[in-house]
Amino acid sequence: MTEIRPQNGSDCGCDQNYRNFQPRLGMAYRLTNKTVFRSGFGIIYAEDDSFSQQAARWINQAPDFVEYSMATLDRINPIMTLSGGFPAVQLPATSVPGPAKVGINIQSPYMPDQYSDQYFADLQRELPYNILMTAGFSGNEAHDMIIPMNYNLPYGPASTPVASRRIFPYYTGITRQMPMGNSNYNALLWKMEKRFSNGLSFLSAFTWSHSIDDYIETGNGTGNEGAVNPWDVGLNRANSYTDIQRQWAFSAEYELPFGKGKPFLNRGGLVNAILGGWQVAPLITLRSGIPFTVVTSGGITNAGGADRPNRLGNGALPSGQQSIYHWFDTAAFAVQPQYSYGNSGRNFLFGPGLRDLDLSLSKFFNITEKKRLQFRLESFNLTNTPAFGQPNANIVALGVGQITSAGAPREIQLALKFIM
C-alpha cells in the first residue's frame, strides 16, 4: 500500500540524501608589492528560497483534510458562531468532492538539494592616495532548483475546455515539485575603494553582467512568466527577471574642511559650533532596466499555460523613441491564432533604467566628554527623478506599451540622535 502519512518521527517522506560534496578551492598570488591576483571556486548546497505548503513533504490534503468556508447572509452577520460549535466532519473523508474541486500536491521520493557552482578571479592594485582598485570576473551556476509542474494539464491546445481534457478530470491540478530549474550568472566587475583618510572615503563599483534561467523566481512580483508549454520547460529559458546588465553605484563620506582643526576657519567658539564638524554623504545608483514578457490574455491558446503572442519583429524601440506613453514597438507583435502557441519568448525586452541620488548631511554636537548629539538631514531621491515601473505588456489590453507607475518621489527627513 502506498504510504500517505508519516510512519514515525524520523520519516521525512523522502529518500535521505547523504551524498552532497562541497569542495572549496582558493588561491592568492602576489605579483608585486602592490598587485595581488586572487581566484576561487566552490560548490554550495542550499535549502529552498521559500517554504510553502506545496513544498512540504507531508501536507494536509484530500482525503485526510477537509476545509469549510462559512459565508454570511448579509456580509455582516455570520451563519455560524464559535459558541455553536463546528459542523461534524468525518476523516478520512468518505468521498472526494465533485469533479474539478480538489487539487493534489505530490513529491518525488528523491529530491536532490539545490546547489550552485561559484567561481571568481580578480586583480587588485594599490594606487596612490590610499585607493584600492579591483577588476575581476564572477559567476555562478545554480542547478536542481524547484519547479512546480502541473501534471494535470492537457498536452496541447484544442477548442474544447481545458477542464474536459485534464488527464485526471476529477482534480483541478496535480502539482509535483521537480528539481529541474537552472540558472547561469556571469559578470565583469570593477571597483575603486578609498579607506577613510584626510576626511574622505568612497566606494565606486560597476557591474556588467548577464543572468539566464528557465524557472520563475518567487517573491518578486513577476507576473505572466509561466511556461507557454508546461510540458517543455526548456522553452522558458531566457533572461532572468533579475538580469540587470549594467549597474554603477557610488557612495562617499566627506568631512567639510571648516572649523577647528580643518584647513579653513580653523578656530573654536561660535564659528566651529556653527560651521565645524559637518559631514556630507552622497549615494548614487545608476542601472539599466529590468526585463519583461509580452503576453496576451483570455485563454487564446487554451492549453493551461501562459498566453503569448507571435513576435513579428525585434520589439525594442531606439532610446530616443521610448517614452512612458510608448515604451516598446507594439506593432512587432500579433495575437496568436486561437488554439495555438505564440512564438514570442520570455523576458527579452527591458523596462526603464534607474537614476537615483540620496544625500545626507550630519553634524555632531558635543554635550559632555561622553555625551553627544547628532543632527541628520537626509534626502532620498534628491533630484526627484521618477523611477518608472514596467510598461503594460499585454497587447490585447488597453494602454499597451504605456507606463502608469513609478517609485517614490523625493523624501526629506530630519533626525536627532543622542549618544551616551
Could you give the domains of the chain? 19-65+91-215 (2.40.170.20)
- pLDDT, residue 53, reads 47
What type of residue sits at position 132? L
H or E segment to which residue 420 belongs: none
Q: What is residue 141's predicted lDDT score, i.e. its pLDDT?
A: 95
Could you tell me which of 319, 163, 142, 156 has the C-alpha nearest to residue 215?
142
Question: What digits encode the pLDDT tens for the residues 65-93?
Answer: 556 666 676 777 777 777 777 767 666 66
- For residue 163, what pLDDT is reported? 84
- Strand, coil or helix: what is 316? strand
> Which position has the grid cell 499555460?
305
> Which pLDDT belongs to residue 384?
96
Rounded Cα distance between 362 and 301, Å, is: 59
Distance CA 304, CA 129 (A): 62
pLDDT in tens, the chain (420 residues): 355 666 776 666 667 777 888 999 999 999 999 999 999 999 998 876 555 544 555 555 555 555 666 667 677 777 777 777 776 766 666 655 555 567 777 777 777 888 999 999 999 999 999 999 999 999 999 998 888 788 888 888 999 988 888 888 778 888 887 888 899 999 999 999 999 888 899 999 999 999 999 877 654 545 556 667 777 777 888 999 889 999 999 999 999 988 888 888 888 788 787 888 899 999 999 999 999 999 999 889 998 888 899 999 999 999 999 999 999 999 999 999 999 999 998 899 999 999 999 999 999 887 887 888 889 999 999 999 999 999 999 999 999 999 999 999 999 999 998 887
Interior angle at CA 35, CA 188 and CA 187, nearest 5:
5
The three-class DSSP label of residue 139 is strand
Closest CA to 257 of 242, 235, 272, 237: 272
**Cis preceding-peptide flag for 128 (omega within 30 of 0):** no
Residues 293-308 as b/e (b if ≥16 CB within 10 A, e otherwise) read: bbbbeeebbbbbbbbb
Residue 108 has a CB neighbour count (10 Å cut-off) of 12
Rounded Cα gap, residues 116 and 122, in angstroms: 20
Q: What is the pLDDT of residue 317?
A: 95
Q: What is the pTM of this model?
A: 0.81
* Residue 63: how many other CB atoms lie within 10 Å: 14
